[in-house]
Amino acid sequence: MFDFSNSLKEDYYCQSPEFIARDLIGAVFVWKNIDGFTLAGKIVETEAYLAVGDLASHSAPGLTKRNSPMFMRGGALYVYKIYGVHHCINVVTENEGVGSAVLIRAMEPLEGIETMHRNRPNCKHKLALCKGPGNLARAFGFTLKHNRLQLYSPNLFIVKHSETAEEEIQTGKRIGIAKSVDLPLRFFLRNSKSVSGNSRK
DNA sequence: TACTAGATTATCT
DNA sequence: GATAATCTAGTAT
């Protein structure tokens, strides 16, 4: 259904995290898991984490064991565990050694809905399956063992299905961080029911 | 509907 | 020993 031959390639991910975070809104994320199930969703919410001038970025203190995937060449998957409970999924951006990434915060499920429901038995509504970074990782079954995977592989890739209109993309402050709070680096699809943090305002 | 507490662990200081 | 790019259940309103 979603074709690897149309997918974003290695060079695409060497662009800036601000550009990619915005550009990926509306794109389709595809993951063929170890059991042969295809899981896919439309990206509706992202956040950029910069290499310089961004104290909220994991890369800000410099290279460590945890953040080392952020310093890989763009196109790697960076997975980390947060609050001892949840996993978060990032797309590494820019060139090797730079240290930037885009956090994928939410998606609208398109394919593999049964599998997502199985991964999240308490989630009733389809549009809430991948709402929020922790939920998204759980629905897709991503854990630390998927860290450093390449995003331009036949079983893991992103396709730009169609262009998303400028006015459909909203910008705002990032969620859940304590430093560099005011940077406008969160992007989300206007009116999507799968965007997280909509209950507050 | 709105707020708060608690879960739970890899990683860093 | 402290912290964290979150989520959910529970209690209060």
What are the 10-residue block averages of pLDDT along chain A, 201 residues in total?
A: 93 98 98 96 98 98 98 98 98 98 98 98 96 98 98 97 94 96 97 80 39
User: Is A145 within 7 A of strand B by CB distance?
Assistant: no
pLDDT at residue A185, rounded to an integer: 98
pTM: 0.96
A85: nt with nearest C1' to CA: B8
**Strand B nucleotides with an atom less than 7 Å from a protein beta carbon:** 2-3, 7-13
From the CA of A75, how many Å to the C1' of C13?
A: 48
Let me know if A34 is exposed, middle or buried by CB neighbors in 10 A (0-12, 13-18, 19+): exposed
User: Is A58 within 7 A of strand C by CB distance?
Assistant: yes
- The whole-angstrom separation of Cα A127 and Cα A81 is 23
User: Is A66 within 7 A of strand B by CB distance?
Assistant: yes
Residue type, A1: M
Which helix (H) or strand (E) is A46 found in, with range?
strand A38-49
A80: nt with nearest C1' to CA: B10
Non-local CB neighbours of A151 within 8 Å, separated by 6+ positions = A8, A13, A75, A76, A77, A91, A157, A158
pLDDT at residue A198, rounded to an integer: 62
User: Is A173 within 7 A of strand B by CB distance?
Assistant: no
How many other C-beta atoms lie within 10 A of the C-beta of residue A113? 15
**Strand C nucleotides with an atom less than 7 Å from a protein beta carbon:** 3-9
User: Is A122 within 7 A of strand C by CB distance?
Assistant: yes
What is the helix, strand, coil percentage profile of chain A, to 5?
Answer: 20, 30, 50
Helices (H), chain A: 17-23, 113-119, 133-140
From the CA of A138, how many Å to the C1' of C2?
A: 26
User: Is A200 within 7 A of strand B by CB distance?
Assistant: yes
> Which residue minimizes Cα–C1' distance to C3?
A83
